[in-house]
A and B are shown apart, each in its own frame.
Chain A
């Protein structure tokens, strides 16, 4: 740098050279977040973006370059968009991610390697580009091998014998001999459609109209596979590089564009922070990361199919608006413990659809309450005889005189689960003098406990 500092200098040395130097602790989290933002921005070029932490990004632009006027055009566009402000960009474009990485870090800035030219392009790079560890590096330098090219012209076998197979493998990758696919940040969608705008969009209505058109394109390609989308991602790329993402999920595969758009409208309506277009969106992409087979609906005579579809569509709208955790259906669980006997599933889930509940057998009265507290609530109860139902109890500061009672129904803890603290519960259904019915239990048996067992309110009967 201009003032005589080089990377790798210790802080004390640097201060000695530049006394007024301001030192700031490195903020890894902020750096990582910034890299993520740049990666989001780079999604506009290709869906295959991978992080090369802490300061690199790898983009697989196979089949994408022609959209930007060739590789040169893409690279120029990327550099132009990124290098305003404080960000310094070095890029390289090569046939394999390793070669591109080495060229970007150790070579000339903004290189484009012609297909097959990797070996020649990496030859002048220092051996450090192999990133083989400090020890190997020292050994290589001592042997007088300064560049990748020096190493490449040596015979292969002695190299492996001296430095190990790992170094040889690195060399081969660097020269473009072996292509290892990158692991993209986001799963590659089943299909995606996008539209670019010369004049950025600022109106939410326009965004939705675009999404509907894109959903139409996506529907075409989904239809060819006989699939429908289970999840739709909309990525709105702002001109300043910020990317907003909207996701909707559906209970059953859909591909009708108007349904998708309606869900996106719900999603936008319920955003905590309203959509901020800034100076506008210049690229909108709709991708379908999850899809499933969609059978063409067969209309039955009774119209039940149509009703099912209506209800599913309603579930999707409600889930999009209130969240999937808020719209639930219930399935029974295999346990005797009442508070664990039911599990909530997102509504429309296949497991909830396939459930059969044990309906009331011909009992004289309902055996389970309609409301059940997740946590049993302690009550003060007075029982006439140790093993009998209470005479009266106090719950939430109100005294209830018991007029009728039935019980006990004994529910023992599930010993096979090894809960040491749990005790046998004796449940009673009691009715107070006002006609309110409660489900209360005594926690523990009289003969087991030195103190009186405690009583709890667990549920309310209709």
Chain B
């Protein structure tokens, strides 16, 4: 698209009455048919959803998936509060706005909060989730903080129910614990569909639905983010073939924690 066209489109978006995309009132659709069909009413707005990175090294995949999901939730004009713990920044690197812009998420809509301690992050999250004018609130927590217990998640869920704002709890280096989350997901990076000359393609994710209070869980999808449509799609269905896997692909190591080196 021409830059002027993009600019015009942005102005139209700004003028249009702010509405959360109503593909199905109250529910978020990912855009990938099979996944949406299986999810049904699982991905509700105004409910707490919990996303786990499969391994700490999948931090960027988690960021990408949640950036996409936040767009599915809040649409073009919705604003997003993104709360990150200081430790995540040292470990996985600070968020890079041009990269999020490349995924279609307008950085001008992001309000970034850096929390020193997990309890600060949860406190900020609660404050943000109570604000009905936001689209989504992303809370990224590292490890298994003691302050993130059943009560804390229930508070978030109740605030979300009252305001209609959707909190996404992003967990890194963590095991699922007690929580009242509506759904619980595991996100891992997946090989992308190669472009010409074996170049890496669009962001691809290996998504597992670990828990679903509204239906069956355990499904696993291989999704790809389409930043033009601002929706996910099944990676395999588009080209008709599964992404090419290199022949010398080694067996994945059983446990691979992101080691901290000097």
Task: Given A302-B18, A327-B113, A436-B189, check contact A369 B60 (CB 8 Å).
Answer: yes
Known: A302-B18, A304-B18. 20 other contacts (CB 8 A): A306-B133, A314-B134, A315-B111, A318-B127, A360-B227, A365-B192, A365-B199, A371-B60, A398-B259, A403-B191, A404-B191, A429-B199, A434-B191, A435-B191, A437-B192, A460-B60, A460-B92, A460-B93, A461-B99, A462-B203
Q: Mark A162-206, 1 if CB is under 8 A from B, else 0.
A: 000000000000000000000000000000000000000000000
Name the contact of B92 in the complex, choosing from A303, A317, A344, A371 (C-beta under 8 A): A371
B115 near A404: Cβ-Cβ < 8 Å: no
In the assembled complex, the Cα of A359 lies from the Cα of B98 at a distance in Å of 8
A415 within 8 A of B: no
Asked whether, in the complex, the Cβ of A364 is within 8 Å of the Cβ of B202, the reply is yes
Number of A-B pairs, beta carbon distance below 8 Å? 241
Residue numbers in B under 8 Å from A242 (CB-CB): none
In the complex the two chains form, what is the Cα distance from A433 to B81 in whole Å?
33
Contact of B115 among A306, A322, A332, A341 (CB under 8 A): A322
Q: A310-B131, A329-B112, A332-B97 are in contact. Are A436 and B124 (CB under 8 A)?
A: no
Q: How far apart sit A367 and B58, CA to CA, in the bound complex (Å)?
A: 19
Contacts of A436 in B (CB 8 A): 57-58, 60-61, 189
Which of B64, B198, B259 is within 8 Å of A462, CB to CB?
B64
Do A370 and B63 have beta carbons less than 8 Å apart?
yes
Is B32 among interface residues, defined by CB-CB distance under 8 A?
no
A357, B114: Cβ atoms closer than 8 Å: no
Q: How far is the CA of A434 from the CA of B97 in the complex (A)?
A: 25
The reply on B103 being an interface residue by CB < 8 A is: yes
State whether the Cβ of A451 lies closer than 8 Å to any Cβ in chain B: no
Q: How far is the CB of A348 from chain B (nearest CB, A)?
A: 8
| A366 partner, pick from B10, B102, B194, beta carbons under 8 A | B102
Contacts of A327 in B (CB 8 A): 111-114
Which of the segments B152-160, B176-184, B250-258 contacts the partner chain?
A: B250-258
Q: Which 7 A-B pairs have the closest CB atoms?
A: A462-B64, A460-B60, A366-B102, A406-B199, A372-B96, A371-B93, A302-B17
| A:322-343 near B, CB below 8 Å | 322, 326-330, 332, 338, 341-342
Q: List 18 A-B contacts (CB under 8 A).
A: A302-B17, A308-B133, A314-B81, A314-B111, A321-B127, A327-B112, A342-B98, A347-B111, A360-B227, A362-B228, A366-B103, A370-B60, A398-B256, A404-B200, A433-B191, A435-B188, A437-B189, A462-B225
Q: Which of A434-462 contact B (CB under 8 A)?
A: 434-437, 459-462
Return chain A residues, CB-CB under 8 Å to B245.
Answer: 403
Of all chain A residues, the one with the shortest Cβ separation from B62 is A462
Nearest chain A residue, comparing its CB with the CB of B86 = A326
Q: Are B7 and A356 in contact (CB under 8 A)?
A: yes
Per-residue CB contact flags for chain B residues 2-22 toward chain A (1 = under 8 Å, else 0) read 010011001000000110000
Closest residue of A by beta carbon distance from B77 = A304
Residues of A within 8 A of B134 (CB): 311, 314
Cβ contact within 8 Å between A366 and B192: no
